[in-house]
Structure 1
Amino acid sequence: MEVQPIGKNQNNLDKWTFWLLMIYVSVLVWIILLKFGVQFSYMENRKINLIPFANGYYDKTETIMNVVIFIPLGIYATSLFKRWAFNTQLIFFFLMGLILESLQYLLKIGTFDITDLLTNTTGGIIGYLGFWTIRKLTQDHQKSQKFFNILSSVGTLTILLLLILLKLEMLPIRYR
């Protein structure tokens, strides 16, 4: 295993990644727990689904979105927590999904769904693998981190703009 020198450039990259992670977690909480600020009164009858893809019901779009929304977590965690083994990362992705699913249920704002937990964890794994693929191609952790920081900065600004426009109902689609 290669030891990375910690210098000024690495510290700046880590700070940049950390702030991207904080923005990402804030948006994730806003989307998953706060439901874009929508009222939650419709969730009086809370449900728990402990059977993956229960009743043969499979919403392809929801499944894909649950994977995609956790890919950045995999990238950020792999970038920041360099010394964590894959198993530790896997547990972290699983626990993040478990916390969010549990909070949805406890706060009466959604259901606890094992399918979501599995697809969220899968998204974290894909982010992890994506980071390590670029890391292997560049043979340099800092270059990989910088690549993803630039990509994530553009993506974060784009997503924030789209979410704001969606919330202000300035897009041709509506969130209900």
Structure 2
Amino acid sequence: MGSKKFTFGLFTVYVFVLVWLVLFKLQFSLDYIERVRVINLIPFHQSLFSEVYSNIRIFIPLGIYICMLKSEWAFSKKVSAIVGFTLSFEIIQFVLAIGRSDLTDILANTLGGVIGIGIYQLIFKLLKHRTNIFINLFSLCVTSFVMYFIIFIFKRPI
């Protein structure tokens, strides 16, 4: 399997987990999700630091994967993709009334993606052509751990 296909496979798993985390709030049924339709356009209004920090962390891989899959894109195009991706989550939450659409989330998620771009560039400076192999191996370990956590800790089928 080619490196790009392997990266895309890991990215696909990441997106599924991200959707489950962001939209479904780690639930296996929509019945358990709070049905609200709220938009907060005031940045950091009633936001807990832990939520902002968590959003930043979970979107770091998005920036890394975009660099791996679309290395030819300019920085601004990568950031635009991150903004579009995170904005789509907020729109879906509002339309389906499955969460609060929040400008803080968009800012934090985008910052996480930009940090991911920076991490990728730093690793690239250190490892050059071995960067994607290193990140794929690291991502495989993290993805395996996350899948183990989902399957054995929650003890529910995927």
Fold in common (TM above 0.5):
yes
**Which residue number corresponds to residue 123 of structure 2?**
134
Q: What is the SS of the residue equivalent to 1:84?
A: coil
Structure 1 residue ranges without an equivalent (≥5): 1-10, 170-176
Q: Report the aligned-residue RMSD.
A: 1.7
What is the CA deviation profile of residues 94-132 of structure 1, one whole-angstrom value per residue up to 9, with x for unaligned ones?
Answer: 000000111011111001100001100111111111111
1: distance between equivalents of 2:47 and 2:15? Answer: 27
Q: Count matched residues.
A: 154
Based on CA coordinates, which of the two structures has the bigger radius of gyration?
1
Shift of 1:159: 1.2
The one-letter amino acid of 1:34's match is F
Residue equivalent to 2:137: 150
Change over 3 Å in CA distance of 1:87–1:41 after alignment to 2: closer
Partner of residue 94, structure 1:
83
Unaligned runs of 5+ in 2: none
Q: Describe the SS at the equivalent of 1:111.
A: strand
Structure 2 residue aligned with 1:167: 154
Q: 1:60: Cα distance to partner?
A: 1.7
TM-score scaled by length of structure 1:
0.82
Q: 2:22 aligns with which of 32, 35, 47?
A: 32
Correspondence for 2:92? 103
Q: 1:59 aligns with which of 48, 57, 81?
A: 48
State the distance in 1 between where 2:24 and 2:47 align: 24
Give secondary structure in 2 for the equivalent of 1:139.
Answer: helix
Is residue 24–residue 33 contact of structure 2 (8 Å, CA) maintained in 1? no
User: For residues 66 and 13 of structure 1, do their structure 2 counterparts lie closer, same or farther at Cα, with a shift above 3 Å needed?
Assistant: same
* 1:4 paired residue number: none
Name the TM-score, length of structure 2 as normaliser. 0.90
Deviation at residue 41 of structure 1 after TM alignment: 5.9
